[in-house]
């Protein structure tokens, strides 16, 4: 099996498939398997899968267990909603809620997968179906045959484009200033081990600790009418960022002022795909369901994909592969489409201007301490079952 892409989704898929008895190779276009410096949140729906893959203990060594998830108002810092995490959420869902540096997560996943099965510097330009499987094609003109090809190559996926045609991603009108701040620089702000979202007119800010508490991950989301630059990330202007948060609560301004070298990211997405593959070719993660970050589920849904894919392919013969991959998409597509919608809706809710709609939102939040039905549906999702030990159904390639 060939997995195109060595990020979180690709490595999770490779590890899940390998643990299920398949012979897997990963092809990554970069010269090394790595990740940009940013934090992510791993809810129990993801950490249960990571535990089953045998990597959760190692991730916990470099992660942070937040005690609470909270929303606060932009100008006075008033608490709008608070959800216990820590031991409470682990008791409810059987797995922890974690904050982790992306690079740390990629490092753990890569360390659990045989290094000799990862080929770097291999830029995929597409995948084609064959009578006996599929073939990955690379920019240097070479190709690799496999009985299954998994496109985990992100929102710009060449595998997806080869299946369904090339279409530009949509700029959402949001930009994010992101960065990491040494914990000692914000020690006087009393932030604690929390995941905090400060909501304001046309903007919101998220912050939480990662890297075993050594770094504060900061994401400041603003609205921008257009994005004309080719790069998705630019060096952000700290003065511009600070000006955008003038008048916000002193704690928010303190966090923003500590962010000396932010990167400015354009947030893009795509409409949900009606299908995820054809024949022996399929997709995972951002290649098929890019997520806006407003539900903190981008990595989590990619990890769920990995478990579901391995479960559907367990025991599949060569003739069974197309049907198994169709079943995988059938299982996953409704859920990921709903999560994409939740994320988009949160973008609107988070940025409401002061007024009746914002007051109504805040009243709903104040009355909804604890886990909402949507969150219960999201975090309580069961891990797909697969036969991880037996090799009878294992397939090569």
Residues 6+ apart with CB under 8 A from 195: 41, 66, 68, 69, 70, 85, 99, 206, 208
Q: Which among 97, 208, 328, 379 is annotated as catalytic?
A: 208
294 is known as an active-site residue: no
Paired with 156 in beta bridges are none
CA torsion sign for 19, 39, 374, 370 is positive
Instruction: Quote the Cα angle for 243-256-292, to 5°.
Output: 95
Contacts 24+ apart (CB under 8 A), 375-381: 375/83, 378/43, 378/45, 378/295, 378/297, 378/339, 378/342, 379/43, 379/44, 379/45, 379/89, 379/92, 379/93, 380/44, 380/45, 380/93, 381/45, 381/304, 381/335
Q: What does the alpha-carbon distance between residue 337 and residue 126 come to, in Å, rounded to a whole number?
A: 25
- b/e code 92-111 from CB counts within 10 Å (16+ = b): ebebbbbbbbbbbbbbbbbe
Paired with 48 in beta bridges are none
Strand order in the sheet with 170-182: 79-84, 68-73, 194-200, 203-210, 215-223, 170-182, 263-269, 233-235
> Tokens 């753990």 identify what position?
108
Q: What does the alpha-carbon distance between residue 228 and residue 339 come to, in Å, rounded to a whole number?
A: 28
Q: What does the alpha-carbon distance between residue 348 and residue 93 come to, in Å, rounded to a whole number?
A: 29
Query: How many other C-beta atoms lie within 10 A of the C-beta of residue 143?
Result: 15
> Tokens 């849904």 identify what position?
301
**Do residues 122 and 138 touch, judged by C-beta distance below 8 A?**
yes
Q: What does the alpha-carbon distance between residue 291 and residue 336 come to, in Å, rounded to a whole number?
A: 9
Strands 79-84 and 68-73: antiparallel
Active site residues: 208
């Amino acid at each position: 099996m060939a997995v195109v892409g060595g990020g979180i989704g690709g490595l999770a898929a490779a590890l899940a498939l390998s643990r299920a008895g398949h012979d897997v190779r990963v092809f990554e276009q970069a010269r090394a398997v790595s990740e940009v410096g940013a934090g992510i949140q791993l809810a129990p729906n993801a950490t249960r899968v990571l535990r089953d893959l045998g990597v959760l203990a190692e991730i916990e060594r470099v992660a942070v267990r937040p005690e609470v998830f909270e929303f606060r108002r932009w100008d006075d810092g008033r608490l709008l909603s608070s959800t216990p995490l820590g031991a409470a959420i682990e008791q409810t869902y059987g797995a922890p809620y974690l904050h982790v540096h992306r690079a740390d997560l990629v490092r753990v996943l890569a360390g659990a997968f045989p290094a000799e099965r990862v080929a770097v510097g291999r830029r995929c330009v597409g995948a084609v179906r064959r009578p006996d499987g599929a073939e990955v094609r690379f920019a240097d003109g070479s190709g690799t045959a496999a009985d299954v090809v998994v496109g985990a190559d992100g929102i710009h996926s060449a595998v997806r484009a080869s299946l369904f045609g090339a279409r530009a991603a949509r700029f959402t009108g949001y930009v994010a200033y992101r960065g990491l701040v040494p914990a000692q620089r914000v020690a006087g702000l009393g932030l604690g081990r929390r995941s905090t979202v400060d909501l304001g007119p046309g903007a919101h800010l998220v912050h939480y600790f990662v890297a075993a508490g050594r770094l504060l991950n900061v994401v400041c989301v603003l609205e921008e009418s257009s994005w004309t630059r080719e790069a998705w990330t630019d060096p952000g202007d700290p003065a511009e960022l600070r000006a955008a948060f003038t008048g916000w609560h002193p704690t928010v301004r303190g966090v923003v002022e500590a962010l000396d070298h932010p990167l400015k990211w354009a947030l893009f997405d795509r409409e949900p795909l009606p299908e995820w593959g054809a024949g022996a070719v399929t997709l995972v993660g951002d290649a098929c369901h890019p997520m806006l970050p407003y539900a903190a589920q981008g990595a989590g849904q990619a990890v769920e994909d990995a478990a579901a894919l391995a479960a559907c392919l367990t025991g599949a013969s060569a003739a069974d592969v197309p049907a198994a991959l169709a079943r995988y998409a059938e299982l996953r597509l409704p859920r990921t489409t709903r999560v994409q919608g939740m994320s988009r809706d949160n973008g609107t809710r988070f940025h409401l201007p002061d007024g009746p709609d914002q007051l109504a939102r805040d009243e709903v939040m104040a009355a909804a301490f604890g886990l909402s039905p949507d969150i219960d549906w999201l975090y309580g999702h069961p891990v797909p079952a697969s036969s991880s030990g037996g090799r009878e159904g294992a397939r090569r390639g």
